[in-house]
Amino acid sequence: MNRDFEEILREASIDDAMALGKEVIQKMRDAYPEGSFYFIGGTARDYLAGNECNDVDIATDLEKNEIMTVFPDVVSANRFGAGYIVIINYKGQKFDIDSVVDHPIREKIATGDLTINCMAVDPTTEEVIDPDNGQGDLSLKRLRFSTYVFDLLKRGAEARSVLRPFKFQARWGWDFDGETVDAMKKFVDDGYNFNRVQPNNMQKIVDQIKSGKHAKKAWGNIEEFGLLELLKQYDAKKGTKLAESKKVREFDEEKWKNFRDRSEDNLTKDHLGKGLNRKGLGGYFSHEADEIIDKIRKGELDPDEMERDELVMSAMRRAGKTQKGNDSRIDLRKKNFIQRMFDASIVDAPRMRETQSISSDAAYKIGAEMCEAIKKFGNFCYFVGGAARDHILGKTPNDVDLITDMSEKFLQEKMGSLVKNKFWRNGSQVLVLEKDGEEFEVKRLPRSMSLEQELSARDLTMNSIAWDPTTDEYIDPTDGRGDLERGVLEFTPFTLDAVADGKQPARVIRAFRFMSTTGFDFGEKTKDSLRQFAEKSNGLFGLNSDVTQENNWGKFRKGKFMKKAQDAMRELGFEPELEAQFG
């Protein structure tokens, strides 16, 4: 039944989560009457449409510390863009509160994917901010790209925004407006693709599409608009099986009943049905469960490739793939994900080794725990450099380095027993922490520098990535993940200029060292920079530090691709250095 927006806005409460969200806003407003407070994004959309909303997102112009004063039960307070996301516990429910002090809320919401997700509503004053006429599209049950996404797609950027609207079409069955369809088709015609989107993000979107009630309609449009062919190309490049998800079958009630009634099932039937249906996955589970379980048992399906899916985790549980002694790598995201399932009483906890977290390496586990501890005090903490790079590559790093904006005084106060040493490196303070026999270097970000600036000043783009193991957030100002996917060694812009000027010889040898160990190729800009360095240095690195030489040349000589790196040195003008080292 259609209702006008004024009627919807007059409702005091739509569901429990929304009602609690209104209480959260009122408590902040009571403490700071001059502040601005809104439901945003999907919360605003569902509030205006009269739909239930389990996850409530709130935006305010209050400072992070002001929010934390009102709500002492803070789960985390993490920097996000120019502001902070403060997650609080209120009456047993978690709420994300976005502190947008440095820019208007209108700018914050305008970056959504669809117009219906680019709205904000103050549930107390009934004020609506709607820069793209999302209310009109909502009333027409129409899916339309936001102005922000239209602009990005013209440049081939934000490729996953092309696919995301289909999850809403699969959920509701709504149609796209003509301009949105044209933009999708133009994306294909202009030769753009999904290759720079991470596989886990692509898999998440595809899973949401195929679990929808109207998945058949969505997949039909994906094929008609030419996007299915792009998914096939992505599968060929990444080794995924996204395009196969197009096979949508009708719901088989009898098959679902038989599956639930099997005596060998280790899951509680009531929890299985209620829990998965509450998560919106009941239909998908019934479609695919038998096939997945059989394939896992026969060894035809690697459960690690699908570990983020509740369905497959349940199937893995039945197939005995998560029992003690299993050598599969279970990362922190998976561990947290499984824990949320246990908390919701969907499944009984499988018996996993206590040391399994991000990888089998204890340093990763302890580093993640340190990040989580630091973030609880309202500061950020990321894995950086090789630790972030090796995580993306699926490798276990030799060293785990962290970076945080927590002050030395606070670090000493909260983690004093772990601090073993401290020193200054390149103008930044570094603390050495030790826990359970593992050492970590924790770099304190200078107040005069943003995290993006610090990362951009590193040597190679693939070493200029920060990763938060507790949220899986990446900070990647120089597209290091893209270069990793392409198998390219590329200097950061800062290093390109410095090396071309004949400076930073340590970064020159590191570049060749990484070619020797990874087999990656140099990008063209990096080649030009190295040639200019060789011309200025007469083909010699000119390193002054014996430690730097010994460390890098030692790893160079152990590399599987040493010959390739030696050939590159000859090609780029470093024959004298090569002769000095190898004769």
1.10.357.10, 3.30.460.10, 3.40.50.12280, 3.40.50.300: CATH of 362-477 = 3.30.460.10
Longest dimension (CA), the chain: 84
Q: 18 — alpha (psi -120 to 50), left (phi > 0) or beta?
A: alpha
**H or E element that contains 521:** strand 521-522
Q: Give the separation between CA 405 and CA 418, rounded to whole angstroms.
A: 18
Buried b (16+ CB within 10 A) or exposed e, 33-72: eeebbbbbbbbbbbbbbeeebeebbbbbbbbbebbbebbe
Residues with Cβ within 8 Å of residue 451, at least 6 apart in sequence: 79, 380, 382, 403, 405, 445, 466, 475
At 392 the pLDDT is 87
Residues with Cβ within 8 Å of residue 70, at least 6 apart in sequence: 27, 28, 31, 32
Cβ(346)–Cβ(280) below 8 Å: no
Where are the domains positioned within the chain? Answer: 5-139, 141-246, 253-343, 362-477, 487-582
Q: How far apart are the first and last CA of the chain?
A: 84
**H or E element that contains 27:** helix 16-31
Structure tokens that stand for 338 in this block = 């499984």
- Nearest CA to 192 out of 238, 158, 217 is that of 158
Q: Are strands 381-384 and 466-468 parallel, antiparallel or unpaired?
A: antiparallel
How many CA within 13 A on the CB side of residue 547?
0
Taking the CA atoms of 194, 196, 202 and 205 in sequence, report the sign of the dihedral they define.
negative
Structure tokens that stand for 27 in this block = 């408590």
Give the three-class secondary structure for 16: helix
Q: Give the separation between CA 143 and CA 114, rounded to whole angstroms.
A: 7
487-582: in CATH 1.10.3470 = no
Give the three-class secondary structure for 76: strand
Taking the CA atoms of 309, 312, 314 and 316 in sequence, report the sign of the dihedral they define.
negative
Where do the H-state alpha helices sit in 344-431?
362-375, 386-393, 408-415
Q: Give the separation between CA 543 and CA 122, rounded to whole angstroms.
A: 61
3.30.70.270, 3.30.460.10, 3.30.420.40, 3.40.50.300: CATH of 5-139 = 3.30.460.10
Where do the H-state alpha helices sit in 105-252?
105-109, 134-140, 147-154, 160-163, 165-172, 178-189, 199-210, 215-224, 227-238
Beta bridge partners of 176: 143
Give the three-class secondary structure for 202: helix
Residues with Cβ within 8 Å of residue 87, at least 6 apart in sequence: 74, 75, 76, 77, 94, 95, 96, 97
**H or E element that contains 476:** none
Residues with Cβ within 8 Å of residue 541, at least 6 apart in sequence: 505, 508, 509, 574, 577
Per-residue model confidence as pLDDT tens for the chain (583 residues): 333 333 333 333 334 678 889 999 999 999 999 999 999 999 999 888 877 776 789 999 998 889 999 998 888 888 776 678 899 988 878 889 998 876 678 888 888 899 999 999 998 888 999 989 999 898 889 999 999 888 888 777 667 789 999 999 988 899 999 999 999 999 899 888 888 888 888 888 888 888 777 888 999 999 999 999 999 999 999 888 888 876 654 434 444 444 444 433 333 333 333 333 333 333 333 334 445 545 544 555 544 444 334 444 444 444 333 333 333 333 333 333 333 333 332 222 222 222 233 333 677 788 888 888 888 877 889 999 988 998 888 877 777 899 998 877 777 777 777 888 887 776 677 888 887 777 888 888 876 678 888 899 899 999 999 999 888 889 999 999 999 989 999 999 999 999 999 988 989 999 999 999 999 999 999 999 999 999 999 999 887 656 567 778 988 999 999 999 999 999 999 999 999 888 7
Q: What is the CATH number of domain 141-246?
A: 1.10.110.30
Cβ(456)–Cβ(495) below 8 Å: no
Q: Give the separation between CA 575 and CA 583, rounded to whole angstroms.
A: 10
Q: Give the separation between CA 181 and CA 178, rounded to whole angstroms.
A: 5
Based on the number of CB atoms within 10 Å of its own CB, is 181 exposed (0-12), middle (13-18) or buried (19 or more)?
middle
| The pTM of the whole model exceeds 0.75 | no
Residues with Cβ within 8 Å of residue 418, at least 6 apart in sequence: 433, 434, 435
Where do the H-state alpha helices sit in 320-450?
332-343, 362-375, 386-393, 408-415
- DSSP letter at 582? H
- Nearest CA to 336 out of 320, 316, 352 is that of 352
At 519 the pLDDT is 92
Beta bridge partners of 485: none
Domain 5-139 and domain 362-477 have a common topology: yes
